[in-house]
Each structure stands twice: as structure tokens, then as C-alpha cells.
Amino acid sequence: MEFDSSAEESVLVERYKFTISYNGTAFSGFQRQGETRTIQLELEKALRKLGWKEESITGAGRTDSGVHAAGQVISAGMEWNHGEERLRNALNAALPDDIAVLQVEKADRNFNARYDALSRTYHYQIYFSPVRLPLRDDFSWRIWPSLNVEKLKEISRHFTGIHDFRAFGSPPRKDHSTVREVISNSWEQQSVDALCFVIEANAFLYHMVRRIVFLQTAYARGSITEEEILRAVRYGIDAKPGLAPARGLQLWQVRYPDSGEESKNRRIYKWRE
């Protein structure tokens, strides 16, 4: 769907907040990597068809290859005078089937999807089955035998709070801080054979959620001790190597402050990085 803005009255560049959902199975992550198929590349191609002229969009989170999103947020500025609903519909017409724009909102002219975010919430889904279930495998990690849920809940409490998570992942930029604040986390029973790990933090390291999930499942299996996990959380001492598969992870929600809090949030973001 093409729009010719030259035929319209002159319009101002507006800042927009886009809430995005995607199935990450066939993508090499969010961040643009040349012509490799990524979420950012596909979104920018669609925006350019509608007259977008900036060099790059900004995403709230840089999800890994194979990771999904129910509520990723991006920000971009563009000239558009057809209304937010038509912008959403035009973008969806230009996007592939495995990405969808759920909502478009006008934002403050300084809005930045990454730096203005207060927190991100991820969901990690697992299910228990002795055989693979193809209709579930793209979005969950199959585990067998099943795990002791009480042991998972018992160990998860150690991750809440402000910690140096260097044993759980790497920062987006070399030599930046690995300190993060986990605001909350919990294991939720979705069905008799399925669990969801829900974790909210101000920001995450690369691979951090998948590493946390993996170590919790290792503890529930008895292949790692509570003391080993505590050493990793408190002192950054590496524990049992391994990651939970990317397919079970979803960026669920990004939370933003009220407008009066935005400038304060930007000032403290350096600490989060």
C-alpha cells in the first residue's frame, strides 16, 4: 500500500509509538544485520513504503533469534496525516504474516521506546510431555520428566532485586554495566502439563532470561545446588553452562512512565545499561 504525501497538505513530522507482535521463528532476532531477515529490517521496509525517512527505528528490546513478542514497542518519527488507525492498517498490509502492528499512538516528540521504558516483562513457557507436540513446540520448551514446581518457585525468589547478573548474560555494549533490577518473577501454572515463568526487570542482558530459566530447571532436576545459583547471583561465579531454547521466550509487555517521569527515567538509564 503506497501513500503519496506530496498530494496532501504539508504535514509535520510526528513521533509515534508502535506496539508490535511477532512470531520470531523465522527471524535472526530483532536488530538489523545487513540484509539478513530480522524484525527491524522488515518493519523499516514497511515504513519506507509509507514515506518514512529516518535511518533507524528504536525498539524497546533486542530479542534474540527465534524469540517471540506479544508486546514489543518501537518508536519512529514520520509525516502522516491519515490517522493512527489507517497507519496501523497500512503497515500491516505491507508487513509479512509473522509480524503485526497491534496499536499505533502519537507520542511526545522526544519519546524513545528504549530509553523511556521503565521495565520489560518476559514470559517463558514450558510443557511436560514424553513426546514432542508439534503444535506447541514453536512457542514452548518441552521437558520430560516433569519438574517439581515447588522447587522452581523456591529457587526463583533469589533472582528478585538488584544484582550483578554477569554470570547470566552480556550487556548490549562491551564494558557496560551488568547490574540489573529484577522487579518480580514467578512460576505460573497454565494447565496440568504447562508452566509459564514471568519475569519483569528494568532491563535485561543478552541471554539473561534463558539462562535464568535453564538454571532453575537444572536445580529442579537436582543437577545443580542452591549454593551454586546463589554464588552466580551474588558473586557472578559461573554455574552449570546452558541456555533454555529461544522458542519458549516472549517479550510480553513494556511498561512506560507517566509523561512527567520521562526525563527522570532517561537520567537513570545509564545505570541500567
Active site residues: 64
3-state SS class at 181? strand
Distance CA 217, CA 67 (A): 19
Query: For residues 163 and 166, what is the distance between their CA atoms, to the nearest angstrom?
Result: 9
Tally Cβ neighbours within 10 Å of residue 235: 11
Cα 122 from Cα 221, distance rounded (Å): 23
Residue pair 271/179 in contact (Cβ under 8 Å)? The answer is yes
CA dist 81 and 106 (Å) reads: 11
Q: 40 and 31 in contact (C-beta within 8 Å)?
A: yes
184: helix, coil or strand? strand
Coil, helix or strand at residue 146:
coil
End-to-end Cα spacing for the chain: 38
3-state SS, residue 13? strand
CA separation, residue 216 to residues 10, 153, 174, 243 (Å): 56, 9, 27, 11
